[in-house]
Amino acid sequence: MKRVISLFMAILLTGLSACTSPAPDGGGGESSSPQPSETPAATPSAAPADTATPEPPEEEPEPYTPGVIFQTEAKIHSAILAAEGVLYFGNEGGEFFAVDIETKQELWRYSLEENVQTWPVYSDGKVLFNAGNSLYILDAATGEEIHKVAVPAERTLRVSLTSFAYHDSYVAVSGGVAYFVTLDGDLAAVDIAGGETLWTLEAEEPGSVASGVDIWDGKLYYVDASRHLCCVDLETRETLFRTLVNDRMYAPMHISDGKVFVAGRDCQVLCVDAGNGEVLWSSYSNEESTWFSGGSISIGDILYTGTSDECALVSYDMATGELLHTYPTRLNVYTQPLLHDANVIVAATDVYSFKKSYIMEFDTEGHTTLWQVAIEDGVLSSPAIYGDALYFGSDSGAVYRIDLS
């Protein structure tokens, strides 16, 4: 019996010796993968500076994958302006930002008492935007206020307080003068260098304007509150024509080859002669009850414009108004379509929940969707392209980047 016990003890000791044998790297008698409770306390030591472990390089994002590069504390409905390596935009918290594209760091911010819901403009080292009844002119490099020009007006009702409207009118710049429309509907001309109001043109029927202000061939165009497309000669300040378009325009117009293209809540796209105001054609989409809510762009002789309830980008022959093609966007288009080479990029959002958006690019020759991504966020900020990337703001206050390379 004693011999059996002795043999058993010898086997047991041999097994214990194997469990405590040195690790392959020559360490002590501890297990090579100890449990947390078995880990010995670390002994503080100062490593030489030149032996510090370098930070791993930042991974390049996958193409067409949205990533947040900057975060603000309020909704961003302002369009994104990309210029000289910087993103400029405002938010609903009364802040206007400049963010370095390469470092993704804030360069400066400017605070004001109005929400910023417009399209900023870059001109000669300055950034201009309107908010309410004021025009702001800032130094693009420092954010310093050069001029704040308040134009007297009785009305303070923002366009965004109208149902399913999210943007103010926007500024147009020509010859050192900025033009914008007050909430009374009056057209104002401001000297950019001096900050003086040069002249104003009183609206025939007061009311806020959302169509924006555009310039072509020495003439200025906008749709007033009484649903007229107005044309003003910039030299004489004379109103050349007021064409009834029977619509409130809440999206940017488009001017090309002597024609003005406007579309809105009357569910029609109209082509108007930019010289005399004659309506050359008007056209519906497939669904004659859908609003045109996203602005228009053109490639060659084809017009592209975004719709709301039809959830589509639609194209027209610019000469005849013939409906050519429908590109499904799945959600409502309330942002400006964007050219990318010969293709069109669109941001579409659920304007009932503001919790889902699709960003996509359409091949305008093959009529196919090249790529599409979804985010759990609202997007009412018209995007911009800089280099090989797309940038846009969101209802969460984030600025997103999508690699297009």
Q: What is the CATH number of the domain that holds 191?
A: 2.40.128.630
What predicted TM-score, i.e. pTM, was given to this entire model?
Answer: 0.83
The phi, psi pair for 2, rounded to 5°, reads -60, -35
Q: How many CB atoms lie within 10 A of CB 160?
A: 18
**How many domains in the chain?**
1
Q: Supply the range of the domain harboring residue 208.
A: 120-251
Residue 143 lies in a domain: yes
Residue 288 lies in a domain: no
Asked if 98 and 109 count as a contact pair (C-beta separation under 8 A), the reply is yes
At 336 the pLDDT is 92
At 62 the pLDDT is 66
As a whole number of angstroms, the distance between CA 5 and CA 113 comes to 91
At 60 the pLDDT is 57
Residue 149 lies in a domain: yes
Residue 195 lies in a domain: yes
Beta-bridge partner residues of 219: 216, 233
CA geometry: angle at 97 spanning 96 and 103, to 5°? 175
At 246 the pLDDT is 81
At 162 the pLDDT is 66
Residue 139 lies in a domain: yes
Q: By C-alpha distance, which of 74, 166, 177 is closest to 119?
A: 166
As a whole number of angstroms, the distance between CA 183 and CA 328 comes to 35
| Tokens matching residue 104 | 């993704």
Return averaged pLDDT per consecutive 10 residues of the chain, 405 residues in all: 38 37 36 34 37 48 86 96 98 97 98 93 97 95 98 79 73 96 92 97 84 93 91 96 85 93 87 97 87 90 93 96 96 94 96 95 96 96 96 98 95
- Going 280 to 285 to 288 to 291, the CA torsion angle's sign is negative
Residue 218 backbone zone (phi > 0: left; psi -120 to 50: alpha; other: beta): left
The set of residues, in sequence order, having a beta carbon less than 8 Å from that of 10 and lying 6+ positions away, is none
Residue 214 lies in a domain: yes
